[in-house]
Structure 1
Amino acid sequence: MSGKVRIPVLVAALVAVLALLPLPLAGPATAADGPTVKLSRSQAGTGGSVTVSGSGWRPHTLLMMLVCGQATPSRGVIGGTNSCANGDGRAVTTDARGGFSKKLPVAEPPVPCPCVVHVATVTGARADADAVLQVAGHAVEPLPAEASGGRLSVLTDTRLEGASGLLTWFGAPPSRTLVFTVGNAGSSAIKNPVFQVGTSHGVFAPQWDDQQWRGTLGPGKKARIRLPVELAAGAHGDYTVSLKYGGKVLAEQPWGVGRPWGVTLFWILVCLVVPAAVFRAGMAVVERVRPRRAGGGARGRGRRLPRLPRRLPGFGAPGSEPTPTSTLPWFTPDSDPGTAAGRLSAPHDDSPTSPTTPTTKGPT
């Protein structure tokens, strides 16, 4: 075989060998799906701090970081937030890429280790991740053994059913129904399981209430479970309903409760109506107790206008024509009748004498 023929054969063989080899990635290896948490160091003592960084979270999401005991990344926090140092937790918000980095003070949890740094979302869809942390000087005890046989797990997302009524608007206890579907992933049946339903306000630890579901769940079977949830009277704000079974939190559901404005309206009406009623009652008592003045009663009362006569002078009986007023007698001075003054004052002889004019009788 000539040299010109060997070169293409060698090139073809080399290309075939390179095609069988795995090609290197262009960039760094991608992380597994879901949120992740990393610590700057895996061991620290009480009073120190570690830098917690994470990636793969939802952008612009509020997270809570806690040091928890009796927990592992595989089994999670067995006792829930009751096993965490809640007073020394820190909140952090993810950036636009879903990452964060913040220092967390190391504190001893209320239960023994193994311990983790537990990071979970505060609002929105539930998501969490754990990173192993050895708290120097803190007690270490083995985790409780997992229950053999049946094992429950939530198959679908939980939800709260129900609505607030008129009585809730006036301060009655808000109530809902927690609905979820569970399946038995174990090898034996589970009879009458006891669930724990907890309600928490804000960042406070939930208050747990034991509720038993009547029924038997065989291996590989599933069931739809409904459990009642009720808050205290007058409760309002953002709450979280948690479901726990066998010491492990199975699901969490946010619950926003409106303010009972009917109570506020009631107190406003009380503040307006009661003072007005008290004022009116006080005025009635003062009016009754106040002393009266003699002869006239209270001031400004008892004065009467003078009674008018039934018939005024110069007027006749009711219904008759009023009598004409009499003319006053004219003063007649002693003067000559022939003068102008006598003619003005003396009456004419042919005029009748006024009935009201008195006649002077002279000496006979």
Structure 2
Amino acid sequence: MPGAEAAERPVVEVSEAQAGTGGSVTVSGSGWRARTLLMILVCGRSVPSRGVVGGTNSCANADGRAVTTDAEGRFERRLPVAEPPVPCPCVVHVATVTGPKAQADVVFQVAGHPVEPLPPESGGGRLAVLTDTRLDGSSGLLTWFGAPPARTLVFTVGNVGTTAVRDPVFQVGTSHGVFAPQWEERQWRGTIRPGRRARVELPVELAAGAHGDYSVSLKYGGKVMAEQPWAVGRPWGVTLFWVLLCLVVPAALFRAGMAVVDRVRPHGGARRRGPLLSVPALHLSPPRRPAPPPEPARPALPWFTPDAGPGALSAPHDDDPATRKGST
């Protein structure tokens, strides 16, 4: 089927074969999958027959452009010309961002950029992934609180070449969403003889607090050999920590403020009052009762003396001068 053949071999074209830095060219393509996100880059140290030697580290990533194909698998996009970080020969490199991998290169010359011969190809030893890759490991308690998520990329490779491969260096890349992978070199210690296979384990680690859908890619000899999705859970422990912090800190500040207020304000005794707010004290005394009227004075009898009791009454004696005088 023509459509199937076109889908297997995507095509890329540029409006000009050479341009200087600061200019731009029109990049068009056909034969791609419909509604697919592509990344367009200017890459150095590359030829279409060998691809991009060194991966995207040889490309001007900051000046790349993204484009989505239409329903027929076609696209057209304006691309600024920028110098790649390595010498030419250069290409315009187009590759899919998500889904099954597909890529295509077209020769392009950056005017004024240095040109150097490509490094020689490696010997007869060639590695190929024989089994599906997988990520071993799990997240621990520290990862729940924002520690870097870590896994082990496990796969089996076989030497399909004619010479032994000693201490091969792989590239492990991690990407999030539509962003390009960030590649890191991982060396495996050992020798793989022709026709033999080996089980390889490489560590993979993300940044602290990373979460979401990630993709782990394996590259060897400038070619992507395998990809593995990685769903990283959200570090809910960090969220719980901030929630508790927002509750505990205001409560502690409130208690400290109340303690200060309780220590500063006066306790007991007369409280100080401002001159405008003082109110004179009202001294209320109980009502006075009227004094009782004085009793009338009684005449004193001659034979009653105050010192004598009521019964101390005596008759006059003969030797009393008054009696004696009256008798005479």
Q: TM-score, normalised by structure 1?
A: 0.66
Give 2:165's match in structure 1, choosing from 190, 198, 206.
Answer: 190
Find the aligned partners of 1:295 and 1:107 in 2 and give their Cα distance: 85
Q: Are the counterparts in 1 of residues 97 and 180 from structure 2 also a CA contact under 8 Å?
A: no
Tell me the number of residue pairs that the alignment of Structure 1 and Structure 2 aligns.
Answer: 271
CA deviation string 1:238-265 (max 9, x = no partner): 5443333345544444444333232122
Q: Is 1:79–2:84 an aligned residue pair?
A: no
Give 2:246's match in structure 1, choosing from 262, 271, 278.
Answer: 271
Aligned twin of 1:104: 79
Q: Are the counterparts in 2 of residues 182 and 222 from structure 1 also a CA contact under 8 Å?
A: yes
Question: CA 1:164/1:29 → structure 2, altered by over 3 Å: closer, same or farther?
Answer: closer
Once the two structures are TM-superposed, the CA of residue 49 in structure 1 deviates from its matched residue by 2.5
Aligned twin of 1:50: 25
Q: Secondary structure at the match of 1:227?
A: strand
Find the aligned partners of 2:131 and 2:70 in 1 and give their Cα distance: 29
Question: CA 1:28/1:40 → structure 2, altered by over 3 Å: closer, same or farther?
Answer: farther
Q: Are the counterparts in 2 of residues 79 and 248 from structure 1 also a CA contact under 8 Å?
A: no
CA deviation string 1:182-212 (max 9, x = no partner): 221221112332323233455356151x433
Find the aligned partners of 1:30 and 1:152 in 2 and give their Cα distance: 27
Q: Is 1:137–2:112 an aligned residue pair?
A: yes
Q: Is 1:93–2:83 an aligned residue pair?
A: no
Once the two structures are TM-superposed, the CA of residue 166 in structure 1 deviates from its matched residue by 4.1
Q: Secondary structure at the match of 1:160?
A: strand
Find the aligned partners of 2:4 and 2:204 in 1 and give their Cα distance: 45
Find the aligned partners of 2:135 and 2:254 in 1 and give their Cα distance: 49
Q: TM-score, normalised by structure 2?
A: 0.72
Give 1:203's match in structure 2, choosing from 179, 185, 191.
Answer: 179
Give the % identical residues: 74
**Corresponding letter in the other structure for 2:182:** P
Structure-to-structure mapping, 1:154-303, within 5 angstroms: 154-201=129-176, 203=179, 206-208=182-184, 210-246=185-221, 248-294=223-269
Aligned twin of 2:93: 118
Aligned twin of 1:312: none
Find the aligned partners of 1:32 and 1:241 in 2 and give their Cα distance: 25
Find the aligned partners of 1:146 and 1:40 in 2 and give their Cα distance: 31
Once the two structures are TM-superposed, the CA of residue 233 in structure 1 deviates from its matched residue by 1.6
Q: Secondary structure at the match of 2:238?
A: helix
Q: Are the counterparts in 1 of residues 7 and 33 from structure 2 also a CA contact under 8 Å?
A: no
Question: CA 1:258/1:82 → structure 2, altered by over 3 Å: closer, same or farther?
Answer: same
Give 2:36's match in structure 1, choosing from 61, 68, 72.
Answer: 61
CA deviation string 1:254-284 (max 9, x = no partner): 4443332321221011111121123123323
Find the aligned partners of 2:228 and 2:94 in 1 and give their Cα distance: 17
Once the two structures are TM-superposed, the CA of residue 152 in structure 1 deviates from its matched residue by 1.8
Once the two structures are TM-superposed, the CA of residue 33 in structure 1 deviates from its matched residue by 2.5
Question: CA 1:167/1:64 → structure 2, altered by over 3 Å: closer, same or farther?
Answer: same
Aligned twin of 1:311: none
Give 1:38's match in structure 2, choosing from 13, 27, 33.
Answer: 13
Find the aligned partners of 2:7 and 2:101 in 1 and give their Cα distance: 18
Question: CA 1:236/1:50 → structure 2, altered by over 3 Å: closer, same or farther?
Answer: same
CA deviation string 1:2-29 (max 9, x = no partner): xxxxxxxxxxxxxxxxxxxxxxx9x999
Unaligned 5+ runs, structure 1: 1-24, 297-364
Aligned twin of 1:332: none
**Corresponding letter in the other structure for 1:150:** G
Q: CA RMSD in A?
A: 2.9
Find the aligned partners of 2:91 and 2:228 in 1 and give their Cα distance: 23
CA deviation string 1:108-133 (max 9, x = no partner): 21111111111111122222221111
